[in-house]
């Protein structure tokens, strides 16, 4: 008898410990996401040099999307997983799920626009970049990053298009939760919605980004060879003006290539974080929805973690953002920051003719 009475206590203790661990992990992800992305928005708003770079408009909009994930999506998902119950009702379940799909899609569409911006900046002539990436076009691209995700999230989910043909499976899930005296925010998708949504939200943008960065890589190697040849020619016999022109081209190319590498790393991290979820999202309807809930939760929160990762990547990979972050956090002498920022940006903008 004593041994029997021990097991429930042990199980309960283990369950409580698991809840505390999950709550701690979720809290860290949410806090880092909010603080980090807020820092990105404030940095660009306060630093006029960062505001001059068109790519940063997409980065700020991406940060807003990640910030909204942390405020409107993550906390409610964390409460449900820790308490193993959804206390917010059916209507808010639909709203929260719609926000989840919308902001996730918005994130990758922003990254797709960033890849397109870098493609024009590096693979095209400066005048072509200026003609392509006009303020109007940038505004339209930013608008599309929000409108398209809202169209594939709120409208289909609110009208129940995602559950057409799988009503019985959904009722079975709800019945199982009711038998356990629990309520859950259950989001199931039929085959058509799973494939269509995954294509629009992940696979097509991913293909476009991969193509853009592959082209950027090829162009970067070609430019590197050209600059190397020019520098060797300059060292032999050339005028001062020609040497200055070669140095200007070399400096501009280094800035553009470094920016592209930084954003390629950010894109790669996004893919690693979200690929498991979207692969599973397509497969699950075709295997009778047999994916364990724990695995779904793991893939979903791995994707959420990407929203916390982006600001950290900016801090480590981009000197301008790093200096702006340090200035905001009062860990950097303000006067020194202004001198350093002005100096570095003066060099950058004197050699950059494409406005990027």
For the cut 70, the answer to whether the pLDDT of residue 212 exceeds it is yes
Distance CA 186, CA 104 (A): 18
Helix orientation angle between 74-83 and 2-46, rounded to the nearest 10 degrees: 170
36-56 confidence digits (pLDDT tens): 999 999 999 998 889 888 889
304-347 confidence digits (pLDDT tens): 999 999 888 877 788 888 888 888 887 655 545 555 554 444 43
Region 171-193: what's the mean pLDDT?
87
Distance CA 157, CA 36 (A): 30
pLDDT in the model for residue 352: 37
Least confident of 117-126, 139-148, 159-168, 274-283: 117-126
| Domains recognised in the chain with CATH numbers | 10-351 (1.20.1070.10)
Cβ atoms 122, 260 nearer than 8 A: yes
pLDDT in the model for residue 115: 87
Q: What is the DSSP letter of 287?
A: G
pLDDT in the model for residue 354: 40
Per residue, the 3-state secondary structure of 82-132, as one string, reads: HHCCCCCCHHHHHHHHHHHHHHHHHHHHHHHHHHHHHHHHHHCCHHHHHHH
pLDDT in the model for residue 245: 60
108-150 confidence digits (pLDDT tens): 899 889 888 888 888 887 778 888 889 999 999 999 999 999 9
For the cut 70, the answer to whether the pLDDT of residue 161 exceeds it is yes
Tokens at 245, concatenated: 């022109």
pLDDT confidence bin for 152, thresholds 50/70/90: very high
pLDDT confidence bin for 264, thresholds 50/70/90: confident
Tokens at 277, concatenated: 């979820």
Region 71-84: what's the mean pLDDT?
94
pLDDT in the model for residue 234: 58
pLDDT in the model for residue 348: 42
- C-alpha angle with apex 186: 182 to 192, nearest 5 degrees? 160
pLDDT in the model for residue 237: 55
Residue 332 backbone zone (phi > 0: left; psi -120 to 50: alpha; other: beta): beta
């Amino acid at each position: 008898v004593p041994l029997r009475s021990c097991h429930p206590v042990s199980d309960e203790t283990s369950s409580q410990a698991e809840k505390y661990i999950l709550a701690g992990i979720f809290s860290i992800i949410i806090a880092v996401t909010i603080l980090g992305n807020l820092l990105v928005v404030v940095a660009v708003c306060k630093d006029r040099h960062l505001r001059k770079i068109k790519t940063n408009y997409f980065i700020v909009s991406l940060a807003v999307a990640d910030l909204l994930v942390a405020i409107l999506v993550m906390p409610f998902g964390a409460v449900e997983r820790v308490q193993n119950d959804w206390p917010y009702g059916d209507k808010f379940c639909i709203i929260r799920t719609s926000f989840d799909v919308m902001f996730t899609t918005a994130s990758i569409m922003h990254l797709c626009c960033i890849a397109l911006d870098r493609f024009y900046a590096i693979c095209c002539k400066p005048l072509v970049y200026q003609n392509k990436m006009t303020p109007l076009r940038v505004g339209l691209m930013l608008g599309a990053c929000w409108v398209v995700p809202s169209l594939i999230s709120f409208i289909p989910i609110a009208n129940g298009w995602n559950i057409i043909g799988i009503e019985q499976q959904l009722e079975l899930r709800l019945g199982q939760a009711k038998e356990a005296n629990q309520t859950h925010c259950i989001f199931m998708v039929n085959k058509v919605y799973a494939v269509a949504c995954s294509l629009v939200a992940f696979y097509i943008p991913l293909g476009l980004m991969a193509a853009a960065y592959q082209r950027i890589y090829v162009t970067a190697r070609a430019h590197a060879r050209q600059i190397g040849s020019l520098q060797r020619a300059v060292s032999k016999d050339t005028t001062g003006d020609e040497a200055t022109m070669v140095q200007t081209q070399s400096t501009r190319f280094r800035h553009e290539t470094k920016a592209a590498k930084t954003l390629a790393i950010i894109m790669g991290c996004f893919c690693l974080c979200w690929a498991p979820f979207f692969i599973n999202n397509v497969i699950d309807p075709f295997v009778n929805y047999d994916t364990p809930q724990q695995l779904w939760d793991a893939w979903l929160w791995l994707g959420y973690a990407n929203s916390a990762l982006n600001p950290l990547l900016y801090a480590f990979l981009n000197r301008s953002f790093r200096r702006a972050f340090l200035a905001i956090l009062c860990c950097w002498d303000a006067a020194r920051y202004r001198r350093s920022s002005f100096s570095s940006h003066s060099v950058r903008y004197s050699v950059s003719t494409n406005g990027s």
